[in-house]
Amino acid sequence: MGIVIAVISGKGGVGKTTTTANIGLGIAQNGKKCVVVDFDIGQRNLDMLLGLENRVVYDMVHVMDEGVSLKQALIKSKMDSNLSFLAASQTKDKSVLDSDKIYKLIEDLKAEFDFVILDAPAGIESGYEHTIEFADRALVVVNPEVSSIRDSDRAIGILDSKSKKVKDGQEVDKFLIINRIDPKMVQSGEMLNSEDILEILSIPLIGKIPEDKGIIDASNQGKPIILDANSKAGQAYKRVASRICGEKVDFVDVESESAGFMQKIKGMFL
Amino acid sequence: MFPWFGKKSSAKTAKDRLTIAIMSDRSNNSFPFIEDLKAEIIEVVKKYIGVKKVDIQKETLDGVEALSIDVQLEK
């Protein structure tokens, strides 16, 4: 049976979908069968980031309501044959909010894949609770800024009270991804560093992703940045994917990388 | 602490503010039933005396968790 991982955040726009696309592809590159599912009904963009928008014929509502088989609806990525994609519904259909139907869909996916990655809506949106309901683990994506961190704590609170695993007396394992770190700003004391964020949220870290201009270019082309071996963000996503697959990968101090000499000196005092 | 750098780092300010904001969020959101509880308390007390509003806070003191319930009466 596969492992269900919800990619969540408090507010929107922190890089949840980018993270889902890269981690999904990274897991597939590790030789595991992986499906990424777009649950972000309001802002479905996962198809674009994976370059699959023209191949979508059926979405999850067709599978849940109209007897379309999973085989027909799943799209296999050309970037890696281990990676499949299931599209979000075009409309805000009510059945997307039906727990029993979502449960069956996810059970069927678990039977076929090693990892089922769910791109959740932001924690403040409706639909979030249904995405996290059947998750085994959650990747919490934050940016190093106050509103993102505060809202993510609320999203974690909902996860800890509404998920099925918690209601069954178990715990959903949560892991933190700090996205869009600007090393120079951290060095100069203008941006929260990862230790501070970990201390505030008190969940274990699984990845630190530096700000990378290449992300825009990657999404323009529909090719996740993990495919670019020279990209710092791509390398960071690769490490996260390996950690999810159970490998022990040392953390790279992305916060002090590329910081100038003067900033390092200054950093010693701040 | 280091006045020759001009100002306190804003990351430190962010950390301090977040720590307090999240602590207060957590204590207010820790019970999903709190709104229902408030409504029921108002109903019960109203049988005897006029109620203006009810506040419920979760508090932890020396490792003991408690609900502190404030009932504000009508004048």
The ipTM of this complex is 0.81
Average of per-residue pLDDT values in chain A: 91
Shortest Cα–Cα distance, A251 to chain B (Å): 22
- For residue A259, pLDDT beyond 50: no
Taking contacts as CB-CB distances below 8 angstroms, the residues of chain A near B21 are: 146, 150
Looking at the 3D structure of chain A, how many domains does it have?
1
Given a contact cutoff of 8 angstroms between Cβ atoms, the answer to whether A33 and A114 are in contact is yes
- For residue A60, pLDDT beyond 80: yes
- The CA–CA distances, whole Å, from A226 to A30, A49, A53, A238 equal 12, 12, 19, 6
What is the rounded distance in angstroms from the CA atom of residue A100 to the CA atom of residue A107? 11
The pLDDT assigned to A182 comes to: 96
What residues make up the domain containing A24?
3-269
Q: What is the pLDDT of residues A187-234, one digit of tens each?
A: 999 999 999 999 999 999 999 999 999 999 999 999 999 999 999 999
H or E stretch at A262: helix A261-269
Pairing of the two strands A173-181 and A205-210: parallel
Q: What is the CATH number of the domain that holds A212?
A: 3.40.50.300
Q: Within the 152-171 window of chain A, which residues sit less than 8 Å (CB to CB) from chain B?
A: 153-154, 157, 161
Closest CA to A150 of B30, B17, B35: B17
